[in-house]
Amino acid sequence: MQQNRATALAMTVSNSVRRLFRVPDDEPNVLVAQARALSRQVPILHTILSLDAMGVAYTHYGVAPDGLTILPLAVLLSVCAGRVLIWSRTNHHAIGPEEALRRLRGTNRLAAILGSGFAIWAILLTRYGDAATNLHVLYFLSITMIACISCLTHLRTATLIVSALAVPASAYFLVIGAPVVRAAALNYVGVVVVLLFMQSVYYRDFRRLTRLTGENHALAHTDPLTGLPNRRSFFAELEQAIAAAGTAETRFAIGLIDLDGFKPVNDTLGHLAGDAVLCEVGRRLQDAVGAAGVVARLGGDEFGLILHGWPDLDTLGRTLCTILKQPYALRDTTARIGASIGFACFPETARTAEMLVERADHTLYHAKTHAPGTAACFAFEHENRMHRQAQVEQALRRADLAAEFHLLFQPIVDVVAGRVQAYEALARWNSPTLGSVSPVDFIVVAERTGLIHDLSLALLRKALAAMASWPEHVALSFNLSAYDLAAAEGIATITALIAESGIVPERIVFEVTETGLMRDLVDAGRSLGALRALGVGIALDDFGTGYSSLGYVHRLPISELKIDRSFVTDICSDAASRNIIHSILDLARNLRLLCVVEGVETEAQMLHLRAAGCRYMQGYLFQKPMPAAAIAAFEAGFALPQPQGEDRIAAAA
């Protein structure tokens, strides 16, 4: 029984001693910080040791045998030179926790070997000297010990090993030394004890500071909501990926993801629901990308990807879009959103972080504008488009909006009464430098640069001035951008313009797109409410092509629906198109909303729509967009197209 207790006690003591002299590996950040500090201090330590060893060898040269002075000195100098070289290289590149642990444990082993070697060499030299040379040897050990503890202060285990080796050396000098040597030995022991205490305090503070630095670094580089790397971390990772790929001549890709339909979730279900969706998006992206890349949240509902290697971007893009479209189960309901993605590849697309992100962002915007819910990869045609948009932007910033922009007007016809119900104002731009610029080009740039509001106000002034000569029953339909609805001061300016014009507000209809409303449903609803209270009408343009049109009709002060032209194109031959239009017309009637069908180009389409109960139509069948000066003549000679026999037969069928 007593033997078992003794064995257990011995094992406990042995484990405690082993832990005391073993480098702990439970804090990776501390390991890296220790290695980084030693990379600067170890070369200094070995330089001091080499100089001290040469001094001792010099005083004993000719007194002690050459084999005890020259040979140990040569070995110690060689080892020190090698260690200086190794640690100097460490100072020039980043190391990870595993390499740091390996180097620190190597330093522990070498501390034991060199410490023992120096102590044994010093004790052997005392056999050939007198009290003065022995005092020099003790001085050599003291300086060596002070240098070791000072330079290894970030590695507590190494200082403990070196200090433990000082015990037998001190005891030796206390036993055999002269009185002055014994006094110096006692002084040596006192210095070691004080240094160990100071090192203990410093090392404790060093670890605490390293932990705090690590925590601050994590806070600065981590998105607090999703736990993903944040924008700063994404760009740091991107710079590292570019450096590594440039050195190894490898390739990688980045992706920018923007969620479609997230704002309505935030606005209708609340920010807690929106946060839950963002966290789930981050989890799904991480599961899909795995160890093959980095997923970061760049801000708001935008995420970034760094994809190592050369993945199949088409397949990956479809996969990511599909998984992000899956329903999001919340506490009391289910949310649905989509995602648009833009990819850019290194080095084919660009060789700098700024250009990669810029081109991925351009591709994302292109996908979001032309095919929401899909992924696209930057191609050479995007380069031409970027160049064109840069030209448009510069010209737009310098443009005289009142002089260079003008309006064309397309009639919206009441086919029952046989008269024009309203005219839609369509913006056109003749730039002195670029010539005629398509609205598809300049509207996108104006929205992206924030110039759209000034442009809208300039065009609204022109439209209101043109209305002065119209019949009083004819209304104006004018398009507003999402950015026009975003700020209360913008709505106030629009209201002031209407008041100054003297036009009855009931003769004005503002068209808004579903995509625009998605940007911020709360602000849009507030702005539209203010306009509706003024008396103007609100039309929801491109109805049926977005994510949640019925929700907008229910929640917003909509007075009119405009059915997108895509449903009209095949109405004569496609039963599904006819059924959709019938459903929307029924919805409008039930909600007492006026309904306009766009894109009517043939008499047969008109007859089909009229048979379905549609009263208001717009399209090239009635008139192409025309300048304001042509409206009076058009009004005077307007008559509904009279379908001929084949069109009547097709419509009846």
Span 255-303, pLDDT tens digits: 999 998 887 788 778 888 899 999 999 999 999 998 888 999 998 899 9
Six-digit token pair at 45?
């330590």
Backbone angles phi, psi at 17, to 5 degrees: -65, -40
Contact 49, 144 (CB under 8 A): yes
CA gap 520, 526 in Å, rounded: 10
Backbone angles phi, psi at 574, to 5 degrees: -115, 115
Phi-psi region of 281 (alpha: psi -120 to 50; beta: other; left: phi over 0): alpha
Residue 508 has pLDDT above 70, yes or no: yes
Strand partners, 626: 409
Residue 651 has pLDDT above 50, yes or no: no
CA gap 4, 247 in Å, rounded: 61
Contact 339, 262 (CB under 8 A): no
Q: How confident is the model at residue 653 (pLDDT cuts 50, 70, 90)?
A: very low
DSSP string, 442-509: HHHHHHHHT-HHHHHHHHHHHHHHHGGGS-TT-EEEEE--HHHHH-HHHHHHHHHHHHHHT--GGGEE
Residue 547 has pLDDT above 60, yes or no: no
Burial category of 568 from C-beta neighbours within 10 Å (exposed 0-12, middle 13-18, buried 19 and up): buried
Residues 245-256 have a mean pLDDT of: 85
CA gap 608, 613 in Å, rounded: 9
CA gap 253, 22 in Å, rounded: 43
Looking at domain 231-378, does it have CATH number 3.30.70.270? yes
| Length of the chain in terms of residues written | 653
pLDDT of residue 175: 73
Backbone angles phi, psi at 601, to 5 degrees: -125, -15
Q: In the 8-state DSSP scheme, what is residue 222? A: B
Q: How confident is the model at residue 634 (pLDDT cuts 50, 70, 90)?
A: very high
pLDDT of residue 18: 64
Just give the CATH number of 391-652: 3.20.20.450
Cis amide prior to 557 (ω within 30 degrees):
no
Q: Other C-beta atoms within 10 Å of 393: how many?
A: 18
Q: Other C-beta atoms within 10 Å of 229: how many?
A: 21
- Residue for token digits 């024009």? 420
Highest mean pLDDT among 163-167, 193-197, 487-491, 498-502: 498-502
pLDDT of residue 550: 63
Distance, C-alpha 216 to centroid of its chain: 19
Highest mean pLDDT among 24-38, 424-438, 472-486, 524-538: 424-438
pLDDT of residue 517: 67
Residue 652 has pLDDT above 50, yes or no: no
Span 401-425, pLDDT tens digits: 999 999 999 999 999 999 999 999 9
CA gap 530, 536 in Å, rounded: 10
Residues 182-202 have a mean pLDDT of: 78
Could you give the percent of the chain with pLDDT greater than 70?
90
Q: How confident is the model at residue 548 (pLDDT cuts 50, 70, 90)?
A: very low
Average model confidence (pLDDT) for the chain?
Answer: 84
CA gap 617, 602 in Å, rounded: 12
Residues 36-54 have a mean pLDDT of: 83
Contact 480, 456 (CB under 8 A): yes
pLDDT of residue 206: 80
Residues 385-406 have a mean pLDDT of: 89
Contact 609, 581 (CB under 8 A): yes
Structure-model confidence comparison of residues 489 and 11, the more confident one: 489
Structure-model confidence comparison of residues 217 and 151, the more confident one: 151
CA gap 13, 162 in Å, rounded: 20
Strands 338-346 and 252-260: antiparallel
CA gap 409, 193 in Å, rounded: 94
Residues whose CB is less than 8 angstroms from the CB of residue 612 and which lie 6 or more positions away in sequence, other chains included: 578, 581, 582, 585
b/e sequence 437-475, b meaning 16+ C-beta within 10 Å:
beeebbbbbbbeeebbbebbbbbbebbbebbeebeeebb
CA gap 195, 482 in Å, rounded: 69
Span 435-461, pLDDT tens digits: 999 998 899 889 888 889 899 999 999
Contact 221, 272 (CB under 8 A): no
Residues whose CB is less than 8 angstroms from the CB of residue 52 and which lie 6 or more positions away in sequence, other chains included: 140, 143, 144, 147
Which of these, 336, 339, 337, 359, lies nearest to 347 by C-alpha position?
359
CA gap 569, 621 in Å, rounded: 13
Contact 631, 423 (CB under 8 A): yes
- Residue for token digits 């005629």? 436
Q: Where are the domains of the chain?
A: 18-219, 231-378, 391-652
pLDDT of residue 298: 93
341 membership: H or E segment, kind and range: strand 338-346
Structure-model confidence comparison of residues 198 and 451, the more confident one: 451
Count how many Cα atoms sit within 13 Å of the Cα of residue 476 in the half-sphere of its side chain: 27
Burial category of 606 from C-beta neighbours within 10 Å (exposed 0-12, middle 13-18, buried 19 and up): buried
Highest mean pLDDT among 111-120, 247-256, 627-636: 627-636
Residues 527-554 have a mean pLDDT of: 78
Which of these, 150, 148, 145, 122, lies nearest to 59 by C-alpha position?
122
Structure-model confidence comparison of residues 185 and 320, the more confident one: 320
Which of these, 643, 593, 644, 595, lies nearest to 617 by C-alpha position?
595
